[in-house]
């Protein structure tokens, strides 16, 4: 099946970034899609993407000056983690993964993923991407993955945080929040919703955050000036619990695929000091995924 009508593929020729990441830098949020001929998309998916196979991901990693990837299972593959695990298996140890599982996942499957380098599961609360899963089911999944030392990645919309927070703080693992908690950047860094998110990070040392996806939040467009204060505030306040990623191949962009080189050039704007960059791109993701 071809990609959905209107689906915007990734940028065909990203620019070479001016910013050079430190040695060993990790792109800690990206995906692989298909190829469909080998790894069909899930029947329950909410969108059909373009194929974005591992070879293209690894070539982009090298082109952008990165060393490693964390590949997050995308909702178009639902609970079939084979494309992601295949990419880990082909990476020669330079990729780790985050899976999507249901309660029906077997211990054998968890073991298979663990051996391949999966380090966490993603709980997705974004209604346009996944169907609702009851909290007690998620809690049981959390209890099964916690003994493996895996963490939980949560993807939600900031307006839902108040309702989700009691569940999030009850989780028994490290919790990694996708895309800065998806703030509404028109409201400003000090808006009560964003302040609530900062308080959560302040009070709960097991919460980490991905300072990713300015292209999803910007109202002013590239080079994403309006999103810089949000990333900057998080790096400044929580330098040991931030990680960064491209989000390649950028599922579900509404207008245009971002230029990945431009996303890399966003890094020194949110993490100006060399020590901040080293923590964001090397020290923190290595602690979370390779230790
Ligand atoms: C992302 C974003 C999205 C999609 C998925 O799993 C997915 O399908 O993650 C999105 O459309 O916001 O960056 O991970």
* Helix, coil or strand: residue 139: helix
Q: Please choose, from the candidates 139, 142, 138, 160, the residue with its C-alpha nearest in 3D space to the C-alpha of residue 150.
A: 142
Residue whose Cα lies nearest atom 2 of ligand 1: it is 251
Report yes or no: 52 and 5 within 8 Å, Cβ to Cβ: no
Nearest CA to ligand 1 atom 3: 251
The distance from CA 188 to its chain's CA centroid, rounded to whole angstroms, is: 23
Q: Tell how many helices (H) and how many strands (E) occur in the chain.
A: 12, 8
CA 219 – ligand 1 centroid, Å: 19
As a whole number of angstroms, the distance between CA 236 and CA 210 comes to 13
Position 1 scores a pLDDT of 58
Ligand 1 geometric centre to CA of 248 (Å)? 10
Tokens at residue 215, please? 């292209």
User: Among 46, 41, 56, 45, which residue's Cα sits nearest to residue 9?
Assistant: 56
Q: If DSSP states are collapsed to H, E and C, what string results for 131-196?
A: CCCCHHHHHHHHHHHHHHCCEEEEECCHHHHHHHHHHHHCCCCCEEEHHHHCCCHHHCCCCHHHHH
> Looking at residue 87, what is its pLDDT?
99
Q: Around Cβ 172, how many Cβ atoms within 10 Å?
A: 13
Indicate which atom in ligand 1 lies nearest the CA of residue 250: 13
Give tens-digit pLDDT for 66-112: 999 999 999 999 999 999 999 999 999 999 999 999 999 999 999 99
Q: Could you tell me the CA-to-CA distances from 226 to 26, 90, 132, 196 in Å, in that order?
A: 25, 38, 32, 20
Q: Among the atoms of ligand 1, which is closest to the Cα of residue 212?
A: 13
Residues 6+ apart with CB under 8 A from 262: 14, 15, 17, 222, 223
Instruction: Name the residue of 74, 182, 258 to mutate for ligand 1: max ligand atoms within 8 A of Cβ.
Output: 74
* pLDDT (0 to 100) of residue 210: 99
Query: Could you tell me the two tokens for 78?
Result: 């639902």
Residues 165 and 170: their CA atoms lie apart, in Å, by: 9
* Cβ atoms 61, 29 nearer than 8 A: no
- The protein residue with its alpha carbon nearest to ligand 1, atom 9, reads 74
Distance (Å) from CA 107 to ligand 1 centroid = 26
pLDDT of residue 244: 99
Q: Which atom of ligand 1 is nearest to the CA of 128?
A: 11
Is-above-0.85 flag for pTM? yes
Beta bridge partners of 52: 33
Which residues of the chain fall below pLDDT 70?
Answer: 1
Q: Which residues are catalytic?
A: 247
Look up tokens 């599922």; give the residue: 251
**Do residues 249 and 2 make contact, with C-beta atoms less than 8 angstroms apart?**
no
Tell me the best of 155, 216, 254 to mutate to test the pocket of ligand 1, counting ligand atoms within 8 Å of each CB and taking the most.
155
Q: How far apart are CA 113 and CA 290, in angstroms?
A: 15
Orientation of helix 161-169 relative to helix 135-145, angle to 10°: 40
Task: Return d(Cα 130, Cα 127) in angstroms, integer.
Answer: 6
Q: Which residues contact 229 (CB under 8 A, 6 or more apart)?
A: 188, 189
**Residue 112: what are its φ and ψ, rounded to 5°?**
-60, -45
Query: Measured in angstroms, how far is the CA atom of residue 74 from the centroid of ligand 1?
Result: 6
**Start-to-end CA span in the chain (Å):** 40
Q: Please, are residues 71 and 95 in contact by the beta-carbon 8 Å criterion?
A: yes
Question: Ligand 1 centre and the CA of 96: distance in Å?
Answer: 18
Distance CA 248, CA 32 (A): 8
The ligand 1 atom at the shortest distance from the C-alpha of residue 247 is 13
DSSP state of 22: P
Ligand 1 pocket (Cβ < 6 Å) reads 74-76, 129, 247, 251-252
């Amino acid at each position: 099946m071809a990609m959905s009508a209107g689906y915007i593929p990734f940028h065909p020729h990203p620019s070479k970034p001016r910013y050079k990441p430190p040695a060993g830098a990790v792109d800690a949020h990206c995906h692989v899609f298909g190829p469909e001929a080998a790894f069909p998309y899930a029947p329950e998916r909410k969108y059909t993407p373009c194929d974005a196979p591992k070879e293209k991901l690894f070539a982009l990693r090298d082109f952008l000056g990165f060393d490693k990837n964390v590949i997050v299972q995308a909702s178009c593959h639902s609970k079939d983690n084979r494309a992601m695990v295949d990419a880990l298996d082909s990476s020669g140890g330079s990729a780790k993964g985050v899976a999507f599982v249901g309660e029906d996942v077997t211990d054998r499957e968890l073991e298979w993923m663990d051996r391949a380098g999966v380090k966490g599961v993603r709980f997705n609360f974004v209604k346009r991407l996944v169907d609702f899963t009851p909290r007690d089911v998620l809690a049981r999944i959390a209890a099964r993955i916690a003994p493996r030392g895996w963490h939980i990645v949560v993807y939600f919309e900031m307006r839902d945080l108040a309702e989700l927070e009691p569940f999030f703080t009850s989780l028994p693992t490290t919790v990694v929040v996708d895309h800065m908690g998806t703030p509404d950047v028109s409201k400003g860094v000090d808006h009560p919703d964003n302040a609530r998110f900062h308080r959560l990070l302040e009070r709960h040392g097991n919460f980490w955050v991905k300072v990713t996806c300015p292209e999803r939040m910007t109202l002013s467009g590239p080079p994403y000036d309006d999103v810089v204060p949000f990333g900057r505030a998080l790096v400044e306040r929580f330098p040991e619990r931030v990680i960064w990623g491209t989000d390649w191949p950028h599922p579900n962009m509404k207008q245009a695929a971002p230029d990945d080189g431009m996303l890399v050039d966003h890094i020194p704007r949110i993490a100006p000091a060399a020590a901040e960059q080293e923590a964001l791109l090397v020290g923190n993701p290595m602690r979370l995924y390779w230790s």
